[in-house]
Structures are given as structure tokens and as C-alpha cells.
Amino acid sequence: MPFLPLENKDFEEKTPQSSLQFLVSFIEKKEEKPKIITNDWTLTTIACGGAVDINVFRKSDLIFLWMTEEKNEEKENENILKTFFTERTETKRTVFKAKVPIGRDYCSVLYSGEADPVDDKNQTYSFRVTSSATSTFDFWDKKSSNFFWKAVFGMTPMVVIGTRTGEKEKDPKTRPPLNYPELSVYKLEKLPRDSIPGKANEYSLRPRSTFVSWSLVDGEARIQNFMKMVKDTVEGDSFVLRRNEGAEEWKKEEAVEWVW
């Protein structure tokens, strides 16, 4: 597990508000005083690496971090899968708190995320959908890091993975002899969150592998370095931090208009 001390603040609402508005509502009601407010998808994206733009704005001693667009191509499919198993059609948000160590100090981060389903044994589950089966190199190279970090920030120890078919013209599984329906989940499996980094490394070492496994330590360092970079943002600052594909450094870009 990562070093990050995480805490669920036990605050849920069924709300059409944006994730940042939701957090401001929580702060007003609970009188929390974090340094940074954001959401789980932004933190997940920072930890995973890759190309992304993060909007940064400081107002009333709060630093807001948010992505212009959530990078989750399977979101609709995951909601369908979650609804099928839980019969819960509405989306509930909850609030989490993380303390990110920076030198001898730490940065207090308050972030929102979906309230994951809980079974009768009080076990929470993260439902994810992918077109790359967990038996493929593609999954462990391109998907596993995101699945792991999303479950970490959601404080979810178990990931339920649904593997789906593609479009009929492109996916041979939709044709004889299997004849699976196109764009449908044909396999379900449970994957303990904490087993994911080790399995990714195992697949990267197999003879036909062409990828280098991602590192838990690298993800931790990305979170620390990013928070260290933005924590001294001054009042009224508004800008974009951009990370290009294959790069670790962030570039400060043009100012952005502050919108919810």
C-alpha cells in the first residue's frame, strides 16, 4: 500500500453539483480547513503519469485542482455494471482526506469520489470495465495502474473487473464460434487491489512482454512532487499545469477562466 494516510469523512449526498461545489458544501458544513481540494480522478491521473492538463486556482486560502474532462472512456459501461449488481441507480458522492508528506511537513488534501458499493460483509467494491482482458499484456501495461490508484483513493480493497467485447466488425469474439453480443461484458473477476502492482511486474517480465512495469514508488513520488509544486500558489493565481506523454515534468501554461 502507498504511504498516504487516507480517511473517509463519512459525508454522502445525492447531488447534481460538480465535484468542487460538493467539496465546498462539505467545507462550509464541517468547517474543514484543507490546503487543496480536488477529486479522485485528478489524483489518479497525477499518480499514473501520462499526458494531462490540470487546472489550478487559488481562492480564500484554498487551492483547487481539476481536470477539464475526466479521462475514463468506460464510465458509462461501469455505471451499467454497478447498477446491475447493486440495483442502485443514483450516484452518491463522498469525501476523503489525504495527508501527503512533503519533507517534514504534510499537505492536507480534501477530495471527492463516488461512494463505492458495500456488500453485507461491509466489503467495498470498485467496478471497472475494460476491453483488454486481464490475461493480456495490454491490460497490465495500459489499464492496471489506473485501476489500482482509483481503488487506492477510493479506499476500496477489491476491484471487480468486467471484460467486454468490442464492435462486431472489429472483435472476433462476436462471431462464430463464440457469438458474444457486441459491446457486452462476457467475463467478471475479482482482483484484490494490493495484488495489482505485483501482477503488473510479473507480466512485464514474461518472455513476450514489450513494456516496463509501472512502479508504486513512482506514483507516490508524482503525487508528492505535484503537491509540493502547487502548495505555494498565491492568492488569485489561475493557470494550467501540463504534462506531456512520456514526460515527468510539468509545464505552466496560460491562465484559465475560473469556472465550477
Higher pLDDT among residues 8 and 219, named by residue: 219
The pLDDT confidence band at residue 16, using thresholds 50, 70 and 90, is: very low
Average pLDDT, the chain: 84
Residue with cell 514508488: 217
Q: Is residue 92 part of a domain?
A: yes
Report angle CA 139, 142, 145 to the nearest 5 degrees: 95
Domain that holds residue 155: 6-252
C-alpha span between 125 and 86 (Å, rounded): 11
Q: Is residue 1 part of a domain?
A: no
C-alpha span between 45 and 222 (Å, rounded): 10
Q: Is residue 70 part of a domain?
A: yes
Cell representation of residue 140? 497490465
Q: Is residue 135 part of a domain?
A: yes
pLDDT at position 12 over 50:
yes
Residue 80: the pLDDT is 72
- The number of residues in the chain equals 260
Instruction: Assess contact for 158 and 191: CB atoms under 8 A.
Output: yes
Count how many domains the chain has.
Answer: 1
DSSP state of 45: H
Percent of the chain with pLDDT over 70: 85
The pLDDT confidence band at residue 241, using thresholds 50, 70 and 90, is: very high
The pLDDT confidence band at residue 246, using thresholds 50, 70 and 90, is: confident
Half-sphere exposure (Cβ direction) of 84: Cα atoms closer than 13 Å: 13
pLDDT tens sequence across 67-88: 865 556 567 777 777 777 766 6
Q: Is residue 258 part of a domain?
A: no
Q: Is residue 260 part of a domain?
A: no
Q: Is residue 257 part of a domain?
A: no
Residues forming beta bridges with residue 57, ordered by sequence position:
64, 238
pLDDT at position 130 over 80:
yes
Q: Is residue 209 part of a domain?
A: yes
